[in-house]
């Protein structure tokens, strides 16, 4: 019985280290709840993850993501989403060819349950600062916390990229995204992120200051792509869906 209690305690501890799994029912998905934004009414909280995880406005959000095959419960509804249109693998995807390429894979959903219940679901990234793009540097040491393995160390790679990203429903061209990489040279193939980590917030923590860099949208072996946090907030304040805009929690 003592060993069983220790095992249960270890599982609870590991679960607490991982970010909550969220997703939609049709098609069933499971991604990571990256973090929370608030509006002018601080009582309303908004979940932020990827559009390819949650889908368009009006979609019900479930926890855990139904793709995991576990008992899922509704926790909110998507208010806004932004993602590039589907294309083909032979379409051009570069700054000269597609200068206005969409730069976000973003879904924002209003929380429909108590925030205390949400925090019991896993480790939600809490930030209190935003890193402007002009202040980001290659090799900055960052972390992200996904639903699959919890907190992962990484470093910033190339900045302001144009590239195609392959999703289950096809290929999409992104502009102005950035790369994160393994923090040290890997002599054997090592995965940085897993598919379920989409939506994880990329941050730099120095003491009590947790600075938001961006959000993971895709993984590819020892690297992953992310969209900039600055663009996420800019879009939430520009789209007109959230009167007064959204901001980081106080």
Domain spanning 2-238, CATH class: mainly beta
For the chain, which residues score pLDDT lower than 50? 1-15
HEC sequence for 87-100: ECCCCCCCCCCCCC
- Return the closest-CA partner of residue 238 out of 249, 230, 226: 230
pLDDT for 182: 93
**Domain boundary assignment for the chain:** 2-238
Q: What is the pLDDT of residue 83?
A: 98
**Is 47:33 a contact under the CB 8 Å cutoff?**
yes
pLDDT at 186: 60
φ and ψ of 28, to 5 deg: -70, 135
Rounded to two decimals, what is the model's pTM? Answer: 0.90
Mean pLDDT taken over the chain? 90
Q: How many beta carbons lie within 10 A of that of residue 86, not counting itself?
A: 12
Q: Which residues make beta-bridge pairs with 156?
A: 180
pLDDT tens across 9-43, in order?
333 444 458 999 999 999 999 999 999 999 998 78
How far apart are the C-alpha atoms of 184 and 187, rounded to whole Å? 10
């Amino acid at each position: 019985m003592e060993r069983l209690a220790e095992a249960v305690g270890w599982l609870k501890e590991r679960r607490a280290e991982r970010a909550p799994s969220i997703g939609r029912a049709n098609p069933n998905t499971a991604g990571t709840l990256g973090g929370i934004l608030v509006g002018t009414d601080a009582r309303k909280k908004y979940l932020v993850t990827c559009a390819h995880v949650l889908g368009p406005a009006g979609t019900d959000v479930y926890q855990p993501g139904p793709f995991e095959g576990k008992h899922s419960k509704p926790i909110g509804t998507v208010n806004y989403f932004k993602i590039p249109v589907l294309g083909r693998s032979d379409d051009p995807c570069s700054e000269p060819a597609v200068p206005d390429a969409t730069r976000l894979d973003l879904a924002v959903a209003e929380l429909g349950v108590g925030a205390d219940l949400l925090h019991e679901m896993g480790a939600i990234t809490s930030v209190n600062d935003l890193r402007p793009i002009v202040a980001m540097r290659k090799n900055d040491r960052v972390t992200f916390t996904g639903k699959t393995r919890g907190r992962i160390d990484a470093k910033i790679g190339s900045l302001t990229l144009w590239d195609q990203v392959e999703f289950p429903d096809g290929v999409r061209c992104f502009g102005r995204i950035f790369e994160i990489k393994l923090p040290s040279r890997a002599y054997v193939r090592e995965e940085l992120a897993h598919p379920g980590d989409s939506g994880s917030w990329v941050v730099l923590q120095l003491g009590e200051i947790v600075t938001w860099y961006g959000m993971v949208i895709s993984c590819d072996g020892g690297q992953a792509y992310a969209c900039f946090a600055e663009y996420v907030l800019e879009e939430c304040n520009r789209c007109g869906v959230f009167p007064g805009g959204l901001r980081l929690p106080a």
